[in-house]
């Protein structure tokens, strides 16, 4: 295998290559570090690159040289972590330069699991400050560096799309894994709330935050989930649920699958190119034997207000001491405004929002009593130009913040598992994402459907990568 192709290997391909001794862990790790050093000045996906990556790779190679001493399919695989995951050997900033904040030099639960699996923790990716926002400055979208990558896990998505690592972790409070995955043409998976431990992740909203992987393929996400999922008593929200073999689930076909389409909210205000790509994906599933059922969910008209109240209030509570101490004056302007708005959410507002959340959970349960998954666009549009605050969708103008999480937030509010998988491109060759959501703790069905879409569409996204952007 030629070393130059290693940046586009999937996690599975890299793992297989290591197992078959086609190359050592040191080779792809060095190659990815060299590629990052050469090109990330244009993308700015990393805030910190590990000084210990090669040492970790050598340790993996030493294990592999001893018979039956490997730690599993992730042993020797390079992984990037969003800069709100605590790490013992790399600094954590949560994307802020404000005074008054220090973060412990210890491993988050996810970092611990990855190290135990033999991963090479290659670096920390940039996040929109405190995991707020959907633009992740100063990160650029690798498909067009004049456009935003999405957020708040924009650094992780851009890292994958740029060929800097085969696996990165993000966090998702209103869409922060799936939004950048859609905009950057990667897979982004938010499992059920409580499936992966949040211990050691800088909190944003304790009842909405979801850790999860960003990868090149659905199979890669399933492999990552086999390591990341599981009970952890250090996270009070983490559930003691049996963890299936996610990789086994994706081998099954989509024949006899029952798919739900919620016509209002998800399907009634998208750009024509997004809607066409999603419709084509649904038709491909129908042609493969899936059954499609249509629904309406009027209560979603109140959902955005509900998640806004909950997120603002919980983030405001987390930042209360910093605001009182005057440290929020150092926050980015957009984040400071949102944090201070959280102090205006009353107890009545918060409780009404929680009531809407409960009702939405009941409505989605009614739908999932009849279907296996629900499908929609991930985003109503493709990535916008940096600096834009308004996007035009159809005949309406929307703020970029409201538009970008309009289709993703319902699955944070309800805690349901949801994935974004590439499903096409617009006329400017910007990626379009398809969102698939499922029942609580039924990540297997979500991954199974996403893998079916991946096989049916067979997108060739890697050759279309904006190489000119990476040669700046």
pLDDT at 73: 96
Q: What is the DSSP string of 178-237?
A: HHHHHHHT-EEEE--TTSS--TTB--S-TTT-EEEEEESSHHHHHHHHHHH-S--TTSTT
| Residue 116 DSSP class | H
Which two tokens mark 98? 């404000």
**Rounded percentage of the chain residues whose pLDDT exceeds 90:** 92
Whether residue 17 is contained in a domain is answered as yes
pLDDT interval class at 468 (50, 70, 90)? very low
Of 10, 50, 136, 152, the catalytic one is 152
Q: Which residue has the tokens 């990393």?
A: 46
pLDDT at 471: 53
| 432-451 confidence digits (pLDDT tens) | 999 999 999 999 999 999 99
Whether residue 434 is contained in a domain is answered as yes
CA-CA-CA-CA dihedral for 319, 322, 324, 327, to nearest 10: -130
Over the chain, what is the mean pLDDT? 94
- Is 50 catalytic? The answer is no
pLDDT interval class at 252 (50, 70, 90)? confident
Q: Report the C-alpha gap between 338 and 313 in whole angstroms.
A: 10
pTM of the entire structure?
A: 0.96
Mean pLDDT of 236-249: 96
- Is 5 catalytic? The answer is no
Of 44, 82, 190, 198, the catalytic one is 82
Which two tokens mark 39? 């090109």
pLDDT at 376: 98
**CATH value at residue 375:** 3.90.1300.10
| 49-103 confidence digits (pLDDT tens) | 999 999 999 999 999 998 777 899 999 999 999 999 999 999 999 999 999 999 9
**H runs (alpha helix) in 44-108:** 53-65
| 396-438 confidence digits (pLDDT tens) | 899 998 999 999 999 999 999 999 999 999 999 999 999 999 9
> What SS3 class is residue 88?
coil
Mean pLDDT of 309-334: 94
Whether residue 217 is contained in a domain is answered as yes
Domain that holds residue 288: 6-304+336-466
pLDDT at 255: 81
Number of domains the chain is built from: 1
CA-CA-CA-CA dihedral for 13, 15, 17, 23, to nearest 10: 130
pLDDT at 123: 98
Of 176, 205, 376, 420, the catalytic one is 176
Whether residue 319 is contained in a domain is answered as no
- Is 328 catalytic? The answer is no
End-to-end CA gap in the chain: 27
pLDDT interval class at 469 (50, 70, 90)? low
Q: Report the C-alpha gap between 218 and 447 in whole angstroms.
A: 7
């Amino acid at each position: 295998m030629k070393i130059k192709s290693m940046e586009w290997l999937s996690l599975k391909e890299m793992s297989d290559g290591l197992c078959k001794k086609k190359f050592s862990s040191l080779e792809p790790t060095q190659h990815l570090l060299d590629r990052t050093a050469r090109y990330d000045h244009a993308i700015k996906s990393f805030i910190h690159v590990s000084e210990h990556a090669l040492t970790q790779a050598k340790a993996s190679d030493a294990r592999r040289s001893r018979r039956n001493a490997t730690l599993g399919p992730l042993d020797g695989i390079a992984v990037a972590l969003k800069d709100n995951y605590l790490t013992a050997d790399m600094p954590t900033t949560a994307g802020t330069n404000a005074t008054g904040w220090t973060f412990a030099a210890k491993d988050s639960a996810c970092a611990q699991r990855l190290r135990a699996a033999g991963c090479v923790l290659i670096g920390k990716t940039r996040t929109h400050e405190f995991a707020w926002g959907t633009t992740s400055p100063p990160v650029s979208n690798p498909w067009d560096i004049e456009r935003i990558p999405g957020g708040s896990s924009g650094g992780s998505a851009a890292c994958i799309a740029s060929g800097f690592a085969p696996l990165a972790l993000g966090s998702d409070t209103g869409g922060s894994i799936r939004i950048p995955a859609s905009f950057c043409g990667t897979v982004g998976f938010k499992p059920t709330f409580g499936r992966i431990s949040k211990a050691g992740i800088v909190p944003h909203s304790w009842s909405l935050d979801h850790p999860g992987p960003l990868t090149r393929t659905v199979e890669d996400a399933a492999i990552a989930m086999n390591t990341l999922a599981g009970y952890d008593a250090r996270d009070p929200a983490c559930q003691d649920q049996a963890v299936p073999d996610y990789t086994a689930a994706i081998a099954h076909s989509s024949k006899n699958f029952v798919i739900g389409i919620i016509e209002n909210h998800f399907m009634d205000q998208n750009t024509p190119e997004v809607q066409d790509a999603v419709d084509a994906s649904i038709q491909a599933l129908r042609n493969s034997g899936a059954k499609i059922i249509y629904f309406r969910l009027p209560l979603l008209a109140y959902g955005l207000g509900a998640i806004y109240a909950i997120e603002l209030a919980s983030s405001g509570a987390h930042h209360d001491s910093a605001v009182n101490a005057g440290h929020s004056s150092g926050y980015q302007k957009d984040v400071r405004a949102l944090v201070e708005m959280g102090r205006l959410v009353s107890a009545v507002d918060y409780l009404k929002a929680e009531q809407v959340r409960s009702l939405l959970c009941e409505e989605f349960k009614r739908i999932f009593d009849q279907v296996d998954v629900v499908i929609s666009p991930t985003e109503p549009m493709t990535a916008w130009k940096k600096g834009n605050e308004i996007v035009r969708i159809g005949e309406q103008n929307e703020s970029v913040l409201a538009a970008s999480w309009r289709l993703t937030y319902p699955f944070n509010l309800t805690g349901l598992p949801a994935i974004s998988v590439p499903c096409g491109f617009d006329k400017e060759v910007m990626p379009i994402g398809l969102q698939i959501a499922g029942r609580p703790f039924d990540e297997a069905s979500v991954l199974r459907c996403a893998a079916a879409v991946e096989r049916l569409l067979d997108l060739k996204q890697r050759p279309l990568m904006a190489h000119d952007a990476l040669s700046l």
